[in-house]
Amino acid sequence: MEEAVSTVDAEAARLQPGPARMRLQAVHYMWEGIHAGEEDASGRSRSLAELVEPLTGRDNSERALLILRAFDAMTRGENAQEVAELCDRALVNGRLAPGLGWTDTEWSFELLMMLGISYTYVDRLDRAESLFTEAQRAYESAGWSGGHLALAHAFGGYVLRRRGRLVDAEGFLREALRLADRVGRGLPMHWSAACMLIDTLLARGHVTAAEEIAERYSFEPPHPSTIVLPDTHSIRGRLLIATGRFEDGVNELETAEKISGARGGHNTVMAPWAGDLARALAAEDPRRAAAVAADARAQAERFGTDTAIGEALRCAAALETGQRSVALLAQAVAYLEASPCAYEHAAARVEYGIASRSVTEIKRGLTLARSCGADGLVARAREALDSGLVAR
């Protein structure tokens, strides 16, 4: 990949300023941004921001760079509203520009995946779902049944995961892996779809099924040379803790912490290691757990989505007791109720009901959990109701 990027750079240097040179610059930034092992992520981000700052989106080269800047800003946890505005500027009347469609050959489909992913993580799930549904239809109409269609199913399924439609999400992601298996084995698309499916199965409370997917697709080091979304180390750490490999899970989450710091990636929803790490450290190292949670909350507030802030508040509440915990959970519920992410709302609602000893709140969370297909959360809510420890 390093050789490919340097080849593009050498050709770009031969061209005069204009759309052709800008197109090669966009290719450079796209592949550097996808490369998991890049050495100067912060420098790339700064130079990309400087290049994009004056652009208006007047042609597809400019639109491509706007998408790349939006994706980079999203992964770094910059202001979500500004990310959404960059994405919107890359469209024409709310749609993909002519020549920048899913099957057009001048531009790589990865670019449009980045656009949809950016919308996903800034809570614009309606726009993301529309893009990935369009991708599936375009590929099916064109007779493309390989990797492109597999990724369209994967990211379309992940939008459903973010919406809290966990049963539908699982179906899409299993289909994505079936399609990917027809192409080969051990490809980056397998890592992405498997990571999303494992995340979905853990949200459903189906830990054994998640472990089976991890084993089938070798969801362990060595990791691919391209980035995987959501963050691989974060989801693997969550899986290891869920399956009882606590120490290994903490090590994996700490690896996620180091990699995120090195790349300047501070999106606490895309790379959710902080919440799991803070909870894992709470008993043995409460001071560090509190520091991790506080930093995650600061990053979430900088990003500014209801989902990010609500999840950070849930994490903070898990480290507190008594009325302090109840107050933080009440705030988390308020943010997540405004978020499009129904599973996270359901989890916060159940936790708030248990902490406040409120049957009404637990039942509201139970109803939400059932609608999401979150069987583990349903069982937790029922257990709380049956325990007799909550107020009537």
Per-residue pLDDT of the chain (392 residues; tens, 9 = 90+): 778 888 999 999 999 998 889 899 999 888 888 876 667 788 889 999 999 999 999 999 999 999 999 999 999 999 999 999 999 999 999 999 999 999 998 898 999 999 999 999 999 999 999 999 999 999 999 999 999 999 999 999 999 999 999 999 999 999 999 999 999 999 999 999 999 999 999 999 999 999 999 999 999 998 888 889 999 999 999 999 999 999 999 999 999 999 999 888 899 999 999 999 999 999 999 999 999 999 999 999 999 999 999 999 999 999 999 999 999 999 999 999 999 999 999 999 999 999 999 999 999 999 999 999 999 999 999 999 998 766 55
Please identify, among 121, 142, 163, the residue that sits at the C-terminal boundary of a domain: 142
Integer Cα distance of 12 and 22 in angstroms? 8
Which sign, positive or negative, has the C-alpha torsion 11, 13, 18, 19?
Answer: positive
Whether residue 151 lies inside any domain: the answer is no
Residue 376 belongs to some domain of the structure: yes
pTM for the structure as a whole = 0.95
Eight-class DSSP state of 97: P
Q: How far is Cα 145 from Cα 124, in angstroms, rounded to an integer?
A: 28
Domain interval for residue 361: 305-392
- CA of 313: how far to CAs of 205, 330, 364, in Å? 22, 9, 19
Could you say which of 142, 176, 201 is where a domain stops?
142
Closest CA to 70 of 30, 16, 38, 103: 30
59 domain-assigned: yes
* Three-state DSSP state, 95: strand
- Residue 113 counted as domain residue: yes
Number of compact structural domains in the chain: 2
Q: How far from 169 is each of 63, 161, 203, 252, 369, CA to CA, in Å? A: 30, 5, 11, 25, 15
Residue 330, domain member (yes or no): yes
Asked, for residue 160, whether it belongs to a domain, the answer is: no
Domain boundary among 126, 142, 158: 142
The CA-based diameter of the chain, rounded to the nearest angstrom, is 75
